[in-house]
Amino acid sequence: MVFSSVSFLFYFLPAFLAVYFLAPAGAKNLVLFLASMLFYSWGEGAYVAVLLGYLVFNYACGLALDRLEGGARKVALAFGLAVDLAGLAWFKYLMLVLGLFPERFGSVPEHLPAGISFYTFHSISYLVDVYRRSATAERNVLSLAVYLSMFPQLIAGPIIRFKDICGEVRHRIHTWEKAYSGSRQLVVGLAQKVLIADNVGPIADAAFDAVPGSLTAGLAWLGVVAYTFQIYFDFAGYSNMAIGMGRILGLTYPRNFDLPYCSKSITEFWRRWHISLSTWFRDYLYIPLGGNRVSRSRTFFNLLAVFALCGLWHGASLSFVVWGLYHGAFLILERTPLGARLEARPALVRHAYALLVVMIGWVFFRSPTLPGALGYLGTMFCVGGACTASVPSELFEATPWHALWLALAALLATPLRGLLGARISLADAGPLVPASAWARRRDTAGSMLLLLLSAMAVAGGTYNAFLYFRF
């Protein structure tokens, strides 16, 4: 079940909210857990057992870490992390690798448990925080179950630390202001997804799915531009919907995007893009490896290792690993004298540099194979006569129809979105609480309009599954 579907928006969510707010305070966690199991089992079926297995194992392991001392705690932590990562490796990597050799290993299931990367990282952060004594082991199994399985962030994040949310999981305060601002952010995220991402997505799909050699360089660039906006508004839309629903339920989820395409360096980009993932890798991998407190060469190695794993986290494909190493390489370059020279350039030059680097990187991220990515880049830069290739009819027909959406996406991905109105925005949303009654009426009317347009798009069957569901 996806957030931008008729079944979720018109049936599941209203029914859940009615039951949740009618339930007594002591039963709200049970209602949220049961609803999360229903949400997950809707499309995952037997894979619910995998999620429950993570829950039972990490509950027991957390209690053991809280009880043990000395070297035994290190052994328990290592064992817990090994089991959590083994589940991720089995379903996301080993099964995919075996599937490449059907003549030897037979038929291998292609479907992965949705969200396994996210709830694995939640499990790991829980165990590490208990080990570090920055959180106490949860003795109420229902509270830990809610943390690992709450449906707003179960499938695609944001990644939430147990130590940051355990208080709200155990005891939440519900207010009209939280419900109001959460509802607005939910609508913002829905509009990002169905009004922006789903309308520029066909351009990217047509370009990247075109027969090799059939694109002109200009249309290849157009496809990258479209995908650049598609993945941003798709994932930021999901994050805003999740954050908004969490706020309605009295839960505070971290902000996940902060206008990343306004960055003036790749270092800054990773402070703004998928913030919960980049900070997770920083706190649980980069810093334990030594971070930047070690020698210069070791720091560079740490950066490459972290971003190689970041790429691998997104999928068992060489193109993802190259994408991660590509970003890691630019992070290293920005720590050399070249970075200092870049800092001396005008802001517009630095912005153009960062955006160009990110867009080229998206080619590796979007292409299903590394040779496909290299071929697409060759077309973009007119290698091998691509500038005179034929034009696919479906791409040619889509471009004029979606030109307005591309222009709107470009506007809404920058601070220029303020030209459309101070608070009626489809870009990254924080807690949206107007300061005056007039502003509240204005913003409510804007939200209702966005909700109406989004509901019409969803009801018309034009939505697509969120891109990050596959990760």
For 158-186, the pLDDT digits (tens) are 999 999 999 999 999 999 989 998 999 99
Of the ranges 37-51, 87-101, 364-378, which one carries the lowest mean pLDDT score?
Answer: 87-101
Whole-Å CA distances, 25 to 17, 36, 170, 173, 191: 14, 18, 10, 10, 32
Say how far apart CA 177 and CA 434 lie, in whole Å. 10
- Sequential DSSP letters for 306-319: HHHHHHHHH-SSHH
399 band by pLDDT with thresholds 50, 70 and 90: low
Mean pLDDT of the chain: 86
Q: Nearest-CA neighbor of 233 among 259, 214, 211, 215?
A: 259
DSSP structure class, residue 368: S
Location of structure tokens 């707003």: 152
pLDDT at position 102: 59
- Sequential DSSP letters for 439-464: HHHHHHHHHHHHHHHHHHHHHTT---
In degrees, rounded to 5, the angle at the alpha carbon of residue 376 between the alpha carbons of residues 373 and 381 is: 125
pLDDT at position 428: 45
Residue 104 has pLDDT above 50, yes or no: yes
What is the model's pTM? 0.90
Give yes or no: 314 in active site: yes
Say how far apart CA 365 and CA 315 lie, in whole Å. 10
pLDDT at position 392: 60
Say how far apart CA 52 and CA 45 lie, in whole Å. 12
Of the ranges 127-136, 370-379, 421-430, 434-443, which one carries the lowest mean pLDDT score?
Answer: 421-430
Residue 421 has pLDDT above 60, yes or no: no
61 band by pLDDT with thresholds 50, 70 and 90: very high
Question: Is the Cβ–Cβ distance between 189 and 246 less than 8 Å?
Answer: no
pLDDT at position 322: 95
Residue 259 has pLDDT above 50, yes or no: yes
Domain ranges, ordered by start, for the chain? 22-172, 178-465
Q: Mean of the pLDDT values across residues 89-108?
A: 68
Residue 109 has pLDDT above 70, yes or no: no
Say how far apart CA 245 and CA 122 lie, in whole Å. 19
Q: Mean of the pLDDT values across residues 397-422?
A: 69
301-344 residue pLDDT tens = 999 999 999 999 988 788 999 999 999 999 999 999 998 899 99
The H-or-E segment that residue 342 falls in is helix 337-343
pLDDT at position 468: 65
Of the ranges 249-253, 273-277, 467-471, which one carries the lowest mean pLDDT score?
Answer: 467-471
Which of 122, 314, 351, 402 is catalytic? The answer is 314
With a pLDDT cut of 70, the percent of the chain lying above it is 85
Q: Mean of the pLDDT values across residues 279-302?
A: 93
Q: Mean of the pLDDT values across residues 148-161?
A: 90
Question: Is the Cβ–Cβ distance between 169 and 253 less than 8 Å?
Answer: no
Say how far apart CA 321 and CA 176 lie, in whole Å. 45
Question: Is the Cβ–Cβ distance between 162 and 132 less than 8 Å?
Answer: no
470 band by pLDDT with thresholds 50, 70 and 90: low
pLDDT at position 2: 85
The H-or-E segment that residue 225 falls in is helix 217-248
